[in-house]
Structure 1
Amino acid sequence: MHSLLVIYNGTTKTEPIEDSLKCKLPEFILRSSGYLVDVAYTADQAASRIKEADASILHVPVSEIKTWGALLMKEKTAPVIWWCNDETANLSLAACGDHIMVDGILGPSMLPREIHWSLHFSAKQCFERQQWLKEREQLLSRIEERKWIDMAKGILSKVKNISESEAYDLLRKQAMNERKRMVDVATSIVKVYQLLQDQTQGGTTL
């Protein structure tokens, strides 16, 4: 990890300051530690510049991390790290109970080797978090598919007066014959059945 993007918001945006105070800025500290650092002050700048960075350093209150993280992840999967100093910590007091997803924390008192290891573990955390989110999405998708298949089995079992096991075999055979996924066939069966039920209840003659 060599290239970092430091992001400010309207509250933490730095005005022109004396050279003696610049050493406390995250970009100065990170550059002094051997990293290439770019800075963004707006959402458009951040969305554009994150594409060239290995990680984002958010110099914002905790309450804004979720919004910034979502914006950045749309452009690139990269670690989202919070810069915690007196300013951002004070601005974040009201958000202490919020559930915030960050991959790591950096601060102005950290030495170069501490920054290095924090960024290293942040990269691992980012990968593991993305992997977990992907697995969660796949699990939810399988649960949704199972719901449609179970509903279709129940309908076929009722309409054709067969067991659910036989209904499942019928679904599978139809999917093979039509070269479709079972869930697609099941979804079609359920929707057609629901449409017929609505029409029947509405007194419509087919």
Structure 2
Amino acid sequence: MRSILFLEEGRPPVSMHSLQQNCRTLHRAANAEEVKSLISVADAAVMHVTVERMQDWQSTIAGMRRLPTLWLCSENAVPNELEFGFTLDGVLFSSMNTLEMGVALKWGQRVFQQRKRWAEEREQLLQRIDERKWIDQAKAVLCEIKGISEAEAYDFLRKQAMNERKRIGDIAASIVKVYQLIHG
């Protein structure tokens, strides 16, 4: 990792040697203003905050920029319940040596990329479902107005989309919206 943003809010300082050895630059921040000024150059964020403040900080950082987010946990601060209620890409411990810290950081980066890919796939699937709804509604409208079968209605939508060089879902949404405007 090239650059790590280390957030240390009101916690006793910990040894940064292992973390420092796993990046070119370690930027330290103690508050939201400092985080905001440094987040654009960071490849990951490591938070050394209490469990109670974790969700607030995770939301603050995610609102500024999406990047791998890890928690540097003090061994005496490990929560009994592992369902935190927020998203972390990894957990680090100050007792980790340089190699262990490096593996944990790489794992956190991998988890982040996987989570990002899943979110993108989810968004695409939701768009396809929405598009499918518009197409089904448009087919029903075309069947009613033109007196054609569903297959013919779909062919009409497909040809119209090709002629206008638009997505079939956009053509279908336009047809349904106009129909609702006229008959609504």
Q: Same fold (TM over 0.5)?
A: yes
Whichever residue aligns with residue 149 of structure 1, its letter is I
Q: Percent identity?
A: 40
Structure 2 match to 1:48: 37
Verify: 1:13 aligned to 2:10, yes or no. yes
TM-score, normalised to structure 2's length?
A: 0.84
- Dislocated runs of 4+, deviation >6 Å: none
Verify: 1:104 aligned to 2:90, yes or no. yes
Structure 2 match to 1:136: 122
Q: Distance in 2 between matches of 1:7 and 1:157?
A: 60
Task: Identify if the C-alpha distance between structure 1 residues 182 and 125 changes in structure 2 by more than 3 Å, giving closer, same or farther.
Answer: same
Equivalent positions of 1:159-174 (< 5 A) are 159-174=145-160
Structure 2 match to 1:81: 70
Whichever residue aligns with residue 51 of structure 1, its letter is S
Structure 1 match to 2:106: 120
Q: Tell me if the contact between 1:157 and 1:167 (Cα under 8 Å) persists in the aligned partners.
A: yes
Structure 2 match to 1:182: 168
Point out where structure 1 has 5 or more consecutive residues left out of the alignment.
15-20, 199-206
CA shift at 1:87, angstroms? 6.4
The C-alpha deviation readout for 1:75-111, integer Å capped at 9, x for no partner, is 544311011115654xx66x75444321111011111
CA shift at 1:28, angstroms? 5.5
Task: Identify if the C-alpha distance between structure 1 residues 34 and 157 changes in structure 2 by more than 3 Å, giving closer, same or farther.
Answer: closer
Task: Identify if the C-alpha distance between structure 1 residues 186 and 48 changes in structure 2 by more than 3 Å, giving closer, same or farther.
Answer: same
The C-alpha deviation readout for 1:106-161, integer Å capped at 9, x for no partner, is 01111111111111111111111111111111111111111111111111112222
Whichever residue aligns with residue 85 of structure 1, its letter is S
- Which is further off, 121-130 or 145-154? 121-130
Q: Distance in 2 between matches of 1:73 and 1:98?
A: 16
Q: Distance in 1 between matches of 2:69 and 2:15?
A: 15
Whichever residue aligns with residue 10 of structure 2, its letter is K
Q: Distance in 2 between matches of 1:58 and 1:162?
A: 61
Q: Tell me if the contact between 2:18 and 2:97 (Cα under 8 Å) persists in the aligned partners.
A: no
Whichever residue aligns with residue 145 of structure 1, its letter is E
Structure 1 match to 2:140: 154
Whichever residue aligns with residue 4 of structure 1, its letter is I
Say which one has the larger Rg. Answer: 1
The C-alpha deviation readout for 1:140-186, integer Å capped at 9, x for no partner, is 11111111111111111122221111100111122222232211111
- Which is further off, 71-80 or 165-174? 71-80
Q: Cα RMSD between the aligned structures?
A: 2.5
- Aligned residue-pair number: 183
